C-alpha cells in the first residue's frame, strides 16, 4: 500500500474513532474520591455485629466498595442479577431513599436466605450524596455459590 493511503487511513481513524479509558467491573470503586464533595460515608455491619466505616464516592457500586475494603459480601454473579449472595439489610431511613428494586432484583431477593422487608442486593445500590451515612447490615448467612472459599476479585 502507498504511504499516502496509509496516512489518509490514519488521519480518518483518528477523526472518527474515539476511545476513552474504560473501567472493568469493580475497578471504579478502587479509585479514591477526587474531592471531599464526592465522598459518601458508608457503614457495613457484619454478621458478628462488627462495624466497618468506609469512605465511598458518588457512583460507587456498594458491593464492589465492600470488596475493596475486604468486607465479606460474596457477589458470585458479579452484579449481573443472577444470584443473591450480595444480600444486605439497608437501614430504613436509607432504604426509603433508594429507587425501587427492579423485577429482576425482586426475583433474586426471593432466593435470599433470611429475607426482611429492608433487604436489597448491594450490587444494585449505586451511591449518591443522599446516601451519605448509609448503614447496611450483612445477613447471618447467604446462599454461597462458591464452594471452594473463592472470593471474587475485580478484573
* CA 125 to mean position of chain CA atoms: 7
CA distance 55 to 119: 22
Sheet holding 87-90, edge to edge: 51-57, 39-45, 134-137, 87-90, 119-121
- Looking at the domain 22-137, which fold is it? Ubiquitin-like (UB roll) (3.10.20)
Q: Provide the pLDDT for residue 134.
A: 98
0.85 surpassed by pTM: no
**Residue 54: Cβ within 10 Å count:** 15
User: Which pLDDT score, from 0 to 100, does residue 86 have?
Assistant: 95
Mean pLDDT for the chain overall: 84
- Residues 6-24: what's their mean pLDDT? 50
What nine digits make up the cell of 95? 432504604
pLDDT in tens, 53-105: 999 999 999 999 999 999 999 998 989 999 999 999 999 999 999 999 999 99
CA 118 from chain centre, in angstroms, equals: 18
Amino acid at each position: 500500500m502507498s504511504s499516502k493511503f496509509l496516512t489518509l487511513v490514519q488521519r480518518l481513524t483518528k477523526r472518527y474513532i474515539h476511545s476513552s479509558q474504560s473501567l472493568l467491573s469493580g475497578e471504579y470503586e478502587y479509585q479514591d474520591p477526587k474531592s471531599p464533595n464526592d465522598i459518601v460515608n458508608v457503614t457495613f455491619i457484619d454478621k458478628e455485629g462488627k462495624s466497618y466505616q468506609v469512605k465511598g464516592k458518588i457512583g460507587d457500586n456498594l458491593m464492589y466498595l465492600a470488596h475493596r475494603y475486604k468486607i465479606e459480601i460474596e457477589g458470585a454473579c458479579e452484579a449481573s442479577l443472577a444470584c443473591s449472595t450480595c444480600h444486605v439489610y439497608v437501614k430504613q431511613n436509607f432504604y426509603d431513599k433508594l429507587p425501587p428494586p427492579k423485577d429482576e432484583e425482586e426475583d433474586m431477593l426471593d432466593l435470599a436466605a433470611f429475607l426482611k422487608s429492608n433487604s436489597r442486593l448491594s450490587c444494585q445500590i449505586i451511591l449518591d450524596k443522599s446516601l451519605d451515612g448509609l448503614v447496611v447490615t450483612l445477613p447471618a448467612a447467604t446462599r454461597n455459590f462458591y464452594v471452594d472459599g473463592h472470593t471474587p476479585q475485580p478484573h
